[in-house]
Structure 1
Amino acid sequence: MPVAYGDIRVDVGLRLDLLVDDLVVIEIKAIDALASIHTAQVATYLRFSGRRLGYLINFNTTLIKNGLRRVVR
């Protein structure tokens, strides 16, 4: 995803893990615990892409619902 700042556009920008139906940003992790920096990463992706909804999914949990975090801008 390119990054734009004013009239300047940089094509080597951010790399989204998944973009579902051009609406929902999904960031996938496999770590011991989610931290606030991971939520901030998804929020940054939402801000730069102009999307409003994102999910942060950690697959390193016993139940997937314990590793799911919804981020709304």
Structure 2
Amino acid sequence: MKKELIGSIDRITEQTACIILNDDEHQLQIPLELLPDGADEGMAFTITIERNEEEEKRLAEEIATLKESLSQ
């Protein structure tokens, strides 16, 4: 299942953009390198949040390996 958020860039600093979501209650700090080229204040974006089960599995395996190495 995925969710979509819509927001616009309120301001840009040297390394991040502050995106105000359309609910006017929440904001996200996004590294500029993750935004499309030419992104600027006032532009609106759709942000998709989707579960990544493959990454969850990879992380669980990584943690299990680390725990095993620490217990030896």
- For the criterion TM > 0.5, the same-fold answer is no
Give the TM-score taking structure 2 as reference length.
Answer: 0.23
Whose Rg is larger?
A: 2
Of Structure 1 and Structure 2, the greater strand share is in: 2
